Amino acid sequence: MVYTDDNGFTLDFTSQFDLTAMTSVRMLIRRPSNSVAAYDFALAEFNTVNVGGVLSYLVRPGDLTVDGDYLFQVIAKDANSDVAFKPYTLKVERRIAGNGWNI
């Protein structure tokens, strides 16, 4: 189970494409409000990922601020192509007491 404001864990995506030749790889995050945030992977994070390899996204503070369904999608491009992974849905639940450590 994942709760609002959880962070520090990874979401792993099995690559459907050879990312080694890509020039840009980005994570799109559609929040329950339908706003979209983006994270650009550093070259070292994707330049060894082949088809079937794993691309990991570290969930950061501020990514999961409200409860609801979040969609995560990897997109990648180079000079000749623009590809997208199948979106992953993450259900985020509300904590019963917000930040329970401040009670």
Given this model, what pLDDT does residue 97 score? 75
Given this model, what pLDDT does residue 95 score? 86
> Residue 90 belongs to what H/E stretch?
strand 88-93
Model pTM? 0.89
- Which of 23-56 are b and which e, b meaning 16 or more Cβ less than 10 Å from the residue's Cβ? eebebbbbbeeeeeeebebeeebbeebeeeeebe
Given this model, what pLDDT does residue 102 score? 75
Residue 27 has phi, psi (to 5 degrees) of -100, 125
pLDDT in tens, 64-83: 999 999 999 999 999 999 99
Given this model, what pLDDT does residue 63 score? 95
68 burial class (0-12, 13-18, 19+ CB within 10 angstroms)? middle
| Domains assigned to the chain | 2-102 (2.60.40.10)
Which residues lie across from 93 on neighbouring strands? 3
Residue ranges in the chain whose pLDDT is less than 70: 98-99
Given this model, what pLDDT does residue 96 score? 84
